[in-house]
Amino acid sequence: MSIKKITFRILRYKPGLIDPPQFQNFSIEVKPDMTILDGLEKIRLEQDTTLMYRHSCHHSSCGTCACKINGTESLACTTKIKDLKSISITLAPLDGFRPIGDLVVDISPLFTNISEDWSYLKNSENVKSSQMPEGIKEFKRFENCIECGACVSACPVTHKNKGFLGPAALAALSNELKKSPPKAEDLLSMAGNKNGERLCERALNCSRVCPTGVYPARHISDLHRVLKQK
């Protein structure tokens, strides 16, 4: 397996120490199938134990490793180094969230406009030729959204207007509207308020960067259509 040397150019930030943030280069040897997250782990183990980044699942389920990779919001755990076709890779934290350190940001505002009462389950797709276990009619699984924050970082409106509900919350609201028609009045009044879907500029960045096929822009268009018919 061939090994080659590449440079990770990482925006470092340590409050009071590396402040304002500045780029630091790390040169590492990588194997073809390594991901950006593998590269970060290698740097932390071999060169700098103070490097901060988040991860948990390593397979695009938890959303914690989202950051900007060569300027685009992506998951570090599923982005293969070889697919970037570059010997220098720039890493920076997501935009629009309070920086905590290096690639780590405070993602908590993402949840402000997503109600705990909404359902995060949907029917699981059937696997062909699978058999349901006795006594079970259907499987449920979580919605596609993994709360990574990529869409919020990529959205031009969230940076101009801090009140905007944002693509993740509007997508979750739209899902809830489809699943719970009795809640329609409350949900639509939230979607149609001054911080709701009307602020969307149709940049479509949210759908472009979403790693799990939520397509927030499509949900925002759906909400726009429903609100126009009211």
Would you tell me which residues interact with ligand SF4 (CB under 6 A)? 63, 145-151, 167-168, 171, 210, 212, 214, 216
The amino acid occupying position 46 is E
103 binds, among ligand SF4, ligand FES, none (CB under 5 to 8 A by kind): none
Tokens representing 124 are: 């699981």
Q: Which is nearer to ligand FES, 75 or 165 (CB)?
A: 75
- Residue 60 CB, shortest distance to ligand FES, in Å, is 5
- Residue 162 CB, shortest distance to ligand FES, in Å, is 26
Question: Would you say 72 and 86 are in contact if contact means Cβ atoms under 8 Å apart?
Answer: no
55 binds, among ligand SF4, ligand FES, none (CB under 5 to 8 A by kind): ligand FES
216 binds, among ligand SF4, ligand FES, none (CB under 5 to 8 A by kind): ligand SF4
Q: Which is nearer to ligand FES, 58 or 183 (CB)?
A: 58
Q: Is 196 helix (H, G, I), strand (E, B) or coil?
A: coil
Residue in 122, 203, 206 with CA at minimum distance from that of residue 171: 206
- Residue 86 CB neighbour total at 10 angstroms: 12
Question: Would you say 54 and 33 are in contact if contact means Cβ atoms under 8 Å apart?
Answer: no
Tokens representing 107 are: 């993602």
- Residue 171 CB, shortest distance to ligand FES, in Å, is 18
